[in-house]
Amino acid sequence: MINIKYFLKGFFCIKSVDSPAIALFASFIAIGALFKSIGLNIQESIFSTLLTYALPGSLIMAESLIVGASLLNIFLAVWLVNARLYPMTVSLFPLLTHKSQPRLKYYLACHFIAVSAWLIMKQNYKSIERKYRLDYWIGVGVANLSVAVSATACGFFLADHLNKDMMIGLAIVNPVYFTCVMVGAMKTVQMSLAVILGSILGIIFYFISPEWCILLGGFTAGTLAFFIGELNDN
């Protein structure tokens, strides 16, 4: 069913120096506190992180609950902001496929796709034998999700002790961590262009449509980066 050795190897990646654990913990503490402030109870808060486990989507849900948006609105807004998980899955799962693994396992394992686990896997997959990459990935995912769920619970209970300045401090940790990761990923012309153009076009498209800016900006930037990178290689 699952190879424990590789599962644990993936699980303990969370302890490495470049691990997203701190950023993940800080941002989900903020989410836990936010959930409490908008009226969720502890079970609902944990349930939410467990089932969604993608930070921007949870933030959108919280904002939508505050303004009393309809379910359809919540669904569409979350889908738009989390649609980035689609290219992330497509750019990761071909690296994990092996004929010995049951198909259903992939559909369950894809729940762990979120930036933090995805980045760990992208950095480490080459060092793992192909047959066991999916088990390793599940280990990475479970570790990250556990951090997120425990941080949500901590944030919920600490909510009354966190003042506005502390919440602001926690909110910057994730963007800073990922800015460092993205800058660190700029190793080829193609990757550098994808990151730089993605940031610029994401902002430009925001003025056209705040809802669609991530998808449209990301799609245009990624496609441009791909073609320019290919031309450059040739």
Is there binding between residue 147 and another protein (CB under 8 A)? no
SS3 sequence of 87-146:
HHHHCCHHHCCCCCCCHHHHHHHHHHCCHHHHHHHHHHHHHCCHHHHHHHHHHHHHHHHH
**Smallest distance from the beta carbon of 139 to another protein, in angstroms?**
18
Which stretch in 3-11, 12-20, 137-145, 151-159 sits in contact with another protein by CB under 8 A? 12-20
Of the candidate residues 13, 121, 149, 170, the single one contacting another protein (CB under 8 A):
170
Q: Which stretch binds another protein (CB under 8 A): 5-13, 133-141, 146-154, 223-231?
A: 223-231
Backbone angles phi, psi at 157, to 5 degrees: -80, -25
Number of amino acids touching another protein (CB under 8 A): 109
The residue among 158 and 191 lying less far from another protein, judged by its C-beta, is 191
Residue 224's CB is within 10 A of a number of other CB atoms, namely 15
Residue 97 interacts with another protein (CB under 8 A): yes or no: yes
Backbone angles phi, psi at 101, to 5 degrees: -90, 135
Which of 12, 86, 102, 208 binds another protein (CB under 8 A)? It is 86
Closest separation in Å from C-beta 177 to another protein: 5
Q: What is the DSSP letter of 69?
A: -
**208 touches another protein by CB under 8 A:** no
Q: Does residue 30 belong to the site contacting another protein (CB under 8 A)?
A: yes
- Any idea which residue has 């449209």 for tokens? 216
- Number of Cβ within 10 Å of residue 128's Cβ equals 19
Pick the piece of the chain touching another protein (CB under 8 A) from 1-9, 134-142, 153-161, 212-220.
212-220
Question: In this chain, which of 95, 153, 154, 158 binds another protein, going by CB under 8 A?
Answer: 95
* Four-residue CA torsion sign, 80, 82, 202, 66: positive
Q: Is 90 in the site for another protein (CB under 8 A)?
A: yes
Contacts of 39 (CB under 8 A, 6+ apart): 65
Report the alpha-carbon angle 134-140-141, nearest 5. Answer: 85
Determine, following the binding rule CB under 8 A, whether residue 177 of this chain makes contact with another protein: yes
Per CB under 8 A, contacts with another protein among 32-51 are 34, 39-41, 44, 47-48, 51
In the complex with another protein, the residue whose CB is nearer, 160 or 165, is: 165
